[in-house]
Amino acid sequence: MALASRPPPSTRNGHTMTDEGRRTARWLQALQSRVRLGKFVSVGVVGAVFDTTVLVVLSQFLGVLEEVAVIAGIETSILVMFAINEHWTYPDSGQHGRGATLRRLVRSHFVRSGGVIVQFTVFVVIYRLLFTPVTLFDIDLWLLVAKGAGILFGMSVNYVFETLFTWRVQQS
């Protein structure tokens, strides 16, 4: 009985690559695009403005509990950033049409949940456990410090997972 022959593994720089190695190389290549990262960060800045504005308006002017205002700001920014990323950062990734876009939006929410958890946790730790009272024009500046730190940590997680799982750039 003849054994089925496997194609030889590919080589890279004189080293044999397994399927897992090729997949990892595609993932790393997808994440290293400076143009895409620049666009993602630019979109993140827009999202951070929406996120922080919602937080400040709700918590400082309408009296909403800070943690609730953070969640409302995060959701607002996710929707804004998704729309921009869909049309600018990742315009050629994935299928087109309402159904495909809706599936990516749902996947984006799921994928961003890791970044949301990181962002929220960093915010709560800095704002509640490391609190330092700093105000300017009756606005709690420590709120902005905690929010900014949360955004930076969450954005790092989001870039990796959005690139690899929402828009699946490595498969393009």
In this structure, the dihedral spanned by the alpha carbons of residues 172, 38, 46 and 116, taken in order and rounded to 10 degrees, is: 60
- Cα distances (angstroms) measured from residue 59 to each of 90, 116, 158: 33, 19, 25
pLDDT digits (tens, 9 = 90+) for 22-51: 666 666 666 667 887 788 789 889 999 999
Q: Has this prediction a pTM greater than 0.85?
A: no
Strand partners, 135: 140
78 and 108 in contact (C-beta within 8 Å)? yes
Res 27: pLDDT: 61
Pick the most confident of 85-99, 120-134, 157-171: 120-134
* Tokens at 45, concatenated: 């800045």
Return the higher-pLDDT residue of 150 and 3. 150
- By residue count, the chain amounts to 172
> Which whole number is the average pLDDT over 2-14?
51
Decide: helix, strand or coil at residue 1: coil
Output b/e per residue, 12-21; b: 16+ Cβ within 10 A. eeeeeeeeee
pLDDT digits (tens, 9 = 90+) for 116-140: 999 999 999 999 999 888 888 888 9
